[in-house]
A and B are shown apart, each in its own frame.
Chain A
Amino acid sequence: MTGIISYLVFFTTMASILAIATLGLNLQWGNTGLFNGGVAAFFGAGAYGTLLLGGTSQEDHLGGFELPYVVALAGGMAAAGILAWVVGVLTLRMRRDYLAISTFGMAIVFENVMRNAEWLSGGAKGLRGFERPLRDALGDGFAYNAAFLAVVLVLLFATYRFLQVLVRSPFGRLLRAIREDETAARSLGKSPARVRLTAFVTGSVIMGLAGGLYATFYAFVSPQDVLPTLTFQIWAMLIVGGAGNNRGAVFGAFLIWAAWTASGWLLSRFAPVDAQIYTGSIQYVLIGLVIVGMLLWRPQGLLPERLVISQSGQAPS
């Protein structure tokens, strides 16, 4: 029983971290209509930033600043934000699919730089030498994982509250206005370019937070953590959960991550030994089917966006 609890703590931690990233994407796509195909890069910037700033000195790559953890995590978020700002200034004038392609390409560039710039990131063998905060006090075992989960849950809730307040504010209405009809928004004297950039950077900083927590959890990050698969996973979570709905984003993250891991677990347990070797492939097929099925039968997601009418006026006659 303790094993199951220990596993569930572990699972919930990872699902919560992914939920934070999904919330970041929801601000960009769900609320503002920005198709960010480079989630992995902003997640990765947060992860690498946090470990580089908070890590101990290593002979073969940069690092060893050993900043306090909170500063390191904030630094990781800042790294994601700066990356998003640069990318945003360059690409945000593009529309949906073009923006998707350019941000996707950017994520590939990011991964390749991390893979090759050994002096910076340790190259393909990854970045190590990070000591998890408070490890001396809590050890490596269950107590640490439980405490870490509590921190992650607090941050998930804080992110969720922040975004709820944000999307209900006038600024949130502006985001949706730009998403629905940018020309109309401009005709009202708003500056869509600046607002889009703000939303893009904010969403990316949130992804950076998720990345920083992820890297802290493993005390390790390598280019394999920032492959396009990650972008795909986060998107699947948002689409299944319901774009435009923050609860949907969190729910989708938990659901997809549960499906992703539970399918592997169930197959390993119940598939016959001869078929075990193929369970990996079967799992891919199952996950693909779920996503395709969702898109066909419930494209708005499990918890669709609730459209809010801010001021109910008289219907025009």
Chain B
Amino acid sequence: MKYLTANRYALGLATALGIALAAGSASAQECTTKIGAVLPTSVDWGKPIAETAQYVVDQVNEAGGAAGCKIEMVLRDSQVDPKVGVDAAKALVDIDGVQVLIGAVSSGVTMPILTSVAVPAGVAEFSCCSSSGAFTKLAEEGKLKGLWFRTFATSNVQAAVGAKVAKDQGYKSVAVLYKNDDWGQDIGKLVAGHLEAQGIKVTSLIAINDGQPSYRAEVTEAISGNPEALYMALYPTEGTSIVRDWLSLGGTQNMIGANSLKSDEFRNNVGMQYLGSFRGTDTSSPRVASADAFVAQYKEHFGKEPNGPGLANSYDATMIALLAMEAAGKDAKGADIAAAVARVTDPSGEPVTADKDGFAKAKEILAGGGNVLYQGATGNVRFDANGDVSAPAVVWTFTEEGTKEDSYITLEEVGELTAK
């Protein structure tokens, strides 16, 4: 009896599914191309990343869409759970037939999506934020078939610049605290290495687990080495708790932070009075008009500064994906789109800005057979053979309104620093 009921439900569901699909194909007259996005929208910092991606899609549609069709981004939540993310990606690829995936954020989710969904299906994947070095290795082994791109500069850039800041500020010893995930472990170790290379003593290297009610034990350990400064590769929530504990235990206000702390939440919760000597690092908004344009248009659209991890990266990842779709032409497969990325990030191509007009201009140039150089929100994005990017860097400080740039480190200087 119960099985009968279950069967009937299944039948009902299947019918509903059929109707939904039929309805989908009926309204597809005006030509819509779907792209998929798997992002952690149920997590606070994941929402703005997804909003930014959607914003790019809206802009591209205003410019007439890509490859002759309007673009629809089907957004799925990864819940930061690999099973859920992979299932979502598989549904996007198989049922919605997407040739481009945007995402994911956590490398632990991105990796299985890439290896068990995107690569087997020949779908191009563009990630804003996955930083693990494992992707580079996998690409070097030739297992990604050139389908993988990320606009998140490898952690080494920020690590090298963080160490440079410590040296410039004259700190002799630094305690390093890092988020205990793949990104944090990576950058924590790299920073320690660069600090040592600069002749600065690393008094402690401490992993910070998420969501603890208190970090007093970790902070006490860090402070016991009497460091002259504190380096943090942390997210705002944990960063706030740490800094509160740190200051209340008499720690120094000399702080260096990775771009993950570039958030209003962190600034407001800690308080400006304690952040006077805080220096942050970030891969740069470069010296091109399009980067300022990104900040300006973001402010206009969302009514706030693009402060938060991965926003500019998300913008570029999505925009490059759509530009590549445009370059690859109508009904292109993932591999063609991946191959077309070189045409839109060509250093000798015609420069285009990161906005609606830039996209419209790129369309014309690409239609004429030319190549373009996308000047993105994170710089003149240029992928190496492994889908990785390097980038210029900035050092920034907090202000009453948000953040401001303190100094700019060019791509060449970054190259020198990271080579050490």
The CA-CA distance from A6 to B74 in the complex, in Å, is 19
Query: Is A3's CB under 8 angstroms from B76's CB?
Result: no
If A218-B115, A261-B87, A277-B51 touch, does A126 touch B95 (CB 8 Å cutoff)?
Answer: no
Q: A4-B94, A229-B81, A302-B2 are in contact. Are A125 and B132 (CB under 8 A)?
A: yes
Give residues 76-97 of B contacting A (CB, 8 Å): 76-77, 79-84, 86-88, 90-91, 93-95, 97
A57 within 8 A of B: no
Q: How far is the CA of A118 from the CA of B20 in the complex (A)?
A: 47
| Contact status of A220 and B41, CB under 8 A, knowing A261-B87, A277-B47 | no
Are A3 and B94 neighbours in the complex by a CB distance under 8 Å? yes
B147 CB–A CB distance under 8 Å: no
Judge if A68 is at the interface, Cβ distance under 8 Å: no
Please give the distance in Å from B311's CB to the nearest CB on chain A.
14
Which residues of chain A from 90 to 135 have a CB within 8 Å of any chain B CB? 112, 115-116, 118, 122-126, 128
Indicate which residue in A10, A112, A219, A224 contacts B209 across the interface (CB closer than 8 Å): A112
Is B50 an interface position by the 8 A CB rule? Answer: yes
Contact A7 B94 (CB under 8 A): yes
In contact, A11 and B108 (Cβ under 8 angstroms): no
Bits for A241-266, please: 1 = Cβ < 8 Å to B, else 0: 00000000001000000001110110
CB of B355 closer than 8 Å to a CB of A: no
| Among listed A162-170, A190-198, A280-288, interface-contacting one | A280-288
Inter-subunit contact B138/A128 (CB<8 Å): yes
A15 and chain B: residue at smallest CB distance: B87
User: Could you say which of B180-188, B228-236, B366-374, B390-398 contacts chain A?
Assistant: B180-188
Does A280 contact B40, Cβ atoms closer than 8 Å? yes
Instruction: Given A125-B133, A264-B76, A303-B2, check contact A220 B112 (CB 8 Å).
Output: yes
Whether B50 lies near A264 (C-beta < 8 A) is no
A7, A126, A277, A303: the one contacting B50 at CB < 8 Å is: A277
Task: Name the A residues within 8 Å of B134 (CB-CB).
Answer: 122, 125-126, 128
Contact yes or no, A281 B54, CB < 8 A: no
A227 at the interface (CB under 8 A from B): yes
Q: Is the CB of B75 within 8 A of A276?
A: yes
Q: How far is the CB of A23 from chain B (nearest CB, A)?
A: 18
Q: Which of A200-254 contact B (CB under 8 A)?
A: 217-220, 222-225, 227, 229-230, 251
A225 touches B42 (CB 8 A): no
**A157 at the A/B interface (Cβ < 8 Å)?**
no
Complex Cα gap A268–B34 (Å): 12
Verify if A300 is at the interface (C-beta below 8 Å from B): no
**B111: contacting residue among A220, A251, A281, CB under 8 A:** A220
B226 contacts the other chain (Cβ, under 8 Å)?
no
Chain A contact patch, size range? 35 or more
Task: Give Cα A116 to B179, complex, Å.
Answer: 12
**CA distance in complex: A6, B111 (Å):** 20
Query: Among B109, B116, B138, which residue has its beta carbon within 8 angstroms of that of A224?
Result: B109
B41-A3 in contact (CB<8A): no
Asked if A123 contacts B185 (CB within 8 A), the reply is yes
A140 interface neighbour in B2, B42, B120, Cβ under 8 Å: B120
Contact A116 B82 (CB under 8 A): no
Nearest A-chain residue to B57, judged by Cβ: A273
- Given A140-B119, A218-B115, do A264 and B207 touch, yes or no (CB 8 Å)? no
User: Does A141 sit at the interface, judged by CB under 8 A?
Assistant: yes
Q: How large is the interface on B (under 10, 10 to 19, 20 to 34, 35 or more residues)?
A: 35 or more
Contacts of B54 in A (CB 8 A): 273, 276-277
B89 to chain A: closest CB distance in Å? 10
Majority secondary structure of chain A interface residues (helix, strand, loop or mixed): helix
Decide yes or no whether A14 CB sits under 8 A from chain B: yes
The winner among B51, B82, B95, B181 for most chain A CB atoms within 10 A is B82
**Within the complex, what minimum Cβ distance (angstroms) separates A239 from chain B?**
17
> Smallest distance from the beta carbon of A82 to chain B beta carbons, Å?
25
Contact B41 A279 (CB under 8 A): yes
Report if A227-B81 is in contact (Cβ < 8 Å); known contacts: A123-B185, A124-B181: yes
* B82→A224 contact, CB < 8 A: yes
Chain A contacts of B83 at CB under 8 A? 14, 225, 230
Report chain B residues within 8 Å CB of A115: 180-181
Cα distance A234–B199 when bound, in Å?
51
Q: Which of A116, A122, A219, A280 lies in contact with B42, CB distance below 8 A?
A: A280
Known: A126-B134, A277-B41. A224 touches B80 (CB 8 A): yes
**Residue in chain B with minimal CB distance to A266:** B20
Chain A min CB distance to B327 (Å): 25
Known A219-B116, A224-B109; judge A264-B84 contact (CB<8 A): yes
| Chain A, residue nearest B106 (CB) | A224
Residues from chain A with a CB closer than 8 A to the CB of B75 are 268, 276-277, 279
Contact yes or no, A218 B186, CB < 8 A: no
The complex places the Cα of A223 from the Cα of B182 at a distance, in Å, of 10
Given contacts A6-B94, A277-B51, A302-B2, contact A126 B116 (CB under 8 A): no
- The answer to whether B81 and A224 have CB atoms under 8 Å apart is yes
Q: Are B81 and A10 in contact (CB under 8 A)?
A: no
Complex-state Cα separation, A265 to B138, whole angstroms: 30
| B57 → A minimal CB distance (Å) | 10
List the A side residues contacting B84 at CB < 8 Å: 260-261, 264
> Quick check: A125 and B186 within 8 Å, CB to CB?
yes
Does B345 sit within 8 A of A, measured CB to CB?
no
In the assembled complex, B203 has its CB within 8 A of some CB on chain A: no
A119 to chain B, nearest CB (A): 13
Q: Are A125 and B42 in contact (CB under 8 A)?
A: no
- Starting from the known contacts A260-B84, A277-B47, 14 additional A-B residue pairs (CB-CB under 8 Å) come to A4-B95, A14-B87, A125-B185, A128-B138, A220-B111, A224-B109, A227-B81, A268-B74, A268-B76, A269-B20, A269-B74, A280-B40, A280-B79, A281-B42
A-B contact pairs, 17 of them (CB 8 A): A3-B94, A10-B94, A125-B182, A126-B132, A128-B111, A140-B120, A220-B112, A222-B111, A223-B108, A261-B84, A265-B88, A265-B91, A277-B50, A277-B51, A280-B42, A281-B42, A283-B77
6 residue pairs, one from A and one from B, having the closest CB atoms: A280-B77, A280-B42, A224-B108, A7-B94, A140-B120, A280-B41
